[in-house]
Structure 1
Amino acid sequence: MQVFSTFETTGFLEIAISTLEKNGIQKENIFAVPLDNRAEDRKFFDTLHRSDGTSLIDIGMGLATALSVIGASIGFKLVWGPIYWGLIGAFVGFVIGFAIRLFIELVVKKNKRVLKGKHSEIILIIDCEETQAELIEDVLWSHFAIGVAKIK
């Protein structure tokens, strides 16, 4: 049977390995694999298959609505009429809102575009007997494993 678990790089991993060795697991049956973390920057624009939940057009749509209403209201007194001035107001509002959101994402939140939460950095693979699996799983969970899986 094999037990797989993932850990962050902390002292708890080393303590877990030494605890497993004290409980009768041989060093040859414990295999630790470090993972390579993402080195490239995250993509700014979303694709069809991946989205990070950040919208660039939310402020633009709000401003487009507001400025189109204002443009249509004022357009009754202007030469081109309310329809053209409403469309002009919508376009200007969208462009201003998009520029504001783009500035916020590129300049203000530049350093905050990182993966959030805990990151698995090491995979620990342990070969054992089925009778030892529960003990190993308890040791791994008590030493703050991110995830544990058993395969027969």
Structure 2
Amino acid sequence: MIMMQLFSTFESNQNLEMVLATVEKKGIKKENIFAVPLDNRSDERKVFDTLHRSDGVSFIDIGAALSTAFAVIGASIGFELAWGPIYWGLIGAGVGFLLGFAIRLFIELGLKKTKRISRGKYSEIILIIDCEASQAELIENILWEHFALGVAKIK
């Protein structure tokens, strides 16, 4: 008799309870079912990237666009002002970049704060089921039917 282990992850809800009841009805003993609750991340994600970790969010994209626009406007107006177009173009570029950076920082810290903490679905429980190889396909189908987030089989 070849034994297999099936690993699956679930959110903690009624689907997990239904899986446990259904699997027990199919002949799997309680001793062969093991459920492990996971501790999910409780601290907030970092806003700024480090050398070893990056989330793919750029803080300079809006700043670069506004820097270009304000530099052109500053240089155009600078022909009429005392310091001239070069200085006013550089001042406009600096102001535009700082304004764009502040806008992006406000969006990430203020508006997307809740999305950074609770993005996507969390695996809350790992379910491990020991069964015979002949039952593995049936148990795997039961797990998928009850909305497992992921399933793996090991001989």
TM-score of the two chains, using structure 1 as the length reference: 0.91
Q: 1:117 — aligned with what? A: 120
CA displacement, residues 14-52 of structure 1 (integer Å, 9 cap, x when unaligned): 111111111111111100000001111111112233333
1:81 and 2:84 aligned: yes
Which among 25, 29, 47 is matched to residue 28 of structure 2?
Answer: 25
Aligned-pair CA distance for 1:74: 1.7
Q: Unpaired segments of 5 or more residues in structure 2?
A: none
CA distance in 2, matches of 1:30, 1:3: 10
Give the aligned residue type for 1:141: W
**1:125 Cα deviation after fit:** 0.5
Gaps of 5+ in 1: none
Match of 2:41 among 13, 38, 51: 38
**Any idea what SS the aligned residue of 1:128 has?**
strand
Residues 91-147 of structure 1 show CA distances to partners (whole Å, capped at 9, x for unaligned) of 011111212222232233333322422211100001111111111101111111111
After superposition, what is the alpha-carbon deviation per residue over 1:44-80, rounded to whole angstroms, capped at 9, x for unaligned? 1122333333322222112111110011112223333
Is residue 99 from structure 1 mapped to residue 89 from structure 2 by the alignment? no
Cα distance in 2 for partners of 1:45, 1:22 equals 51
My pick for the range that moved more, 118-127 or 74-83, is: 74-83
Across the aligned residues of Structure 1 and Structure 2, the Cα RMSD in angstroms comes to 1.5
User: 1: distance between equivalents of 2:9 and 2:55?
Assistant: 24
Moved more, 99-108 or 29-38: 99-108
Distance 1:50 1:63 in 2: 27
- Distance in 2 between the 1:20 and 1:96 partners? 58
Q: Which SS does the other structure have where 2:153 is aligned?
A: strand
Q: Does 2:9 match 1:6?
A: yes
% same residue: 73
Q: Which amino acid aligns with 2:94?
A: F
Distance 1:108 1:148 in 2: 35
- Distance in 1 between residues matched to 2:114 and 2:16, nearest whole Å: 29
